[in-house]
């Protein structure tokens, strides 16, 4: 679904494989509801999460995980360092998620986190060494 970022613009493919340019603050209307991209560079330079504010859902993607075979613990955390393009950016990007309103966080790896993005970010930050 996601392409790579170029100059702060993300590429999102629609169902007919046409590409739509999406920048920070834009809304994607290819799915029901309002899908708001949230830039979260770190895992990759162009990574972004998606917020569905009316549905109370944050799709964090690989900005946050709750389980991974290479991880020692479960729960909200960053991917292991070897999977992040820029570890410092990945950690800083969590702050972009913390202020979002949602009841569930869908991580790129692991089960859904039933809680707020702020709680998930707090736990991920505490788990980071």
DSSP category for residue 82: G
Q: Is the predicted pLDDT of residue 104 greater than 70, yes or no?
A: yes
Average pLDDT (81-85) is 71
Rank 15-24, 25-34, 79-88, 115-124 by mean pLDDT and report only the highest.
Answer: 115-124
Output the average pLDDT for the chain: 77
User: How far is Cα 49 from Cα 61, in angstroms, rounded to an integer?
Assistant: 6
User: How far is Cα 59 from Cα 102, in angstroms, rounded to an integer?
Assistant: 10
Q: Is the predicted pLDDT of residue 122 greater than 50, yes or no?
A: yes
Average pLDDT (37-59) is 86
User: How far is Cα 12 from Cα 9, in angstroms, rounded to an integer?
Assistant: 10
User: How far is Cα 95 from Cα 72, in angstroms, rounded to an integer?
Assistant: 23
Prediction pTM value: 0.73
Average pLDDT (114-126) is 92
**Could you give the percent of the chain with pLDDT greater than 90?**
24
Q: How confident is the model at residue 52 (pLDDT cuts 50, 70, 90)?
A: very high
Average pLDDT (65-83) is 77
- Structural domains for the chain: 25-127 (3.60.15.10)
């Amino acid at each position: 679904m996601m392409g790579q970022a170029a100059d702060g613009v993300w590429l999102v493919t629609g169902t007919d494989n046409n590409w739509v340019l999406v920048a920070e603050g834009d809304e994607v209307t290819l799915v029901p509801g309002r899908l708001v991209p949230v830039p979260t560079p770190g895992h990759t330079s162009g990574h972004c999460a998606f917020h569905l504010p009316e549905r109370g859902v944050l799709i964090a993607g690989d900005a946050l995980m709750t389980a991974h075979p290479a991880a020692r613990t479960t729960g909200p955390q960053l991917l292991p360092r070897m999977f992040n393009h820029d570890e410092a950016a990945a950690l800083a990007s969590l702050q972009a998620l913390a202020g979002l309103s949602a009841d569930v966080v869908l991580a790129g790896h692991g089960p859904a986190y039933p809680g707020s993005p702020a709680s998930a970010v707090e736990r991920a930050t505490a788990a980071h060494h």
